[in-house]
Amino acid sequence: MPTDTRRPDRSARVVLPEPTAAAWDWQSTARCRQMEQELFFPISGKHSGSVRTQVLHAKRICSACPVLAPCRSYAIEAGEAHGIWGGMTALERARHRRRSSLRPADT
């Protein structure tokens, strides 16, 4: 059987914009940067303690974080579907988005 030796067509390649430092600066001072990442993405059996305990611990860290507001805004706007971001679980963020979408627009 012959092998296809053609090169892929690179003319249709999608080029994504580079992230700007200003858009991500808030992450450099986040309290979670010094913590185990798994704490903010609790899965039963993957980290010591129950999921509820992990969530409460992560939220406690978030509550004293200097970048709580931009972190929360990012997670809500980006539709982050996993983890604790800005002191909110994925379910809490989804509820927040639904409530926000149901509010009447200002006229």
Residue 65, annotated as binding a ligand: yes
Tell me whether residue 72 is annotated as binding: no
Q: Which amino acid is at 57?
A: H
Q: How many beta carbons lie within 10 A of that of residue 59, not counting itself?
A: 16
Rounded CA gap, 85 and 32, in Å?
10
Determine whether the annotation assigns residue 32 to a binding site: yes
Quote the CA–CA distance of 8 and 6 in Å, as a whole number. 6
22 annotated among ligand-binding-site residues? no
Task: Return binding residues.
Answer: 32, 62, 65, 71
Task: Return binding residues for [4Fe-4S] cluster.
Answer: 32, 62, 65, 71
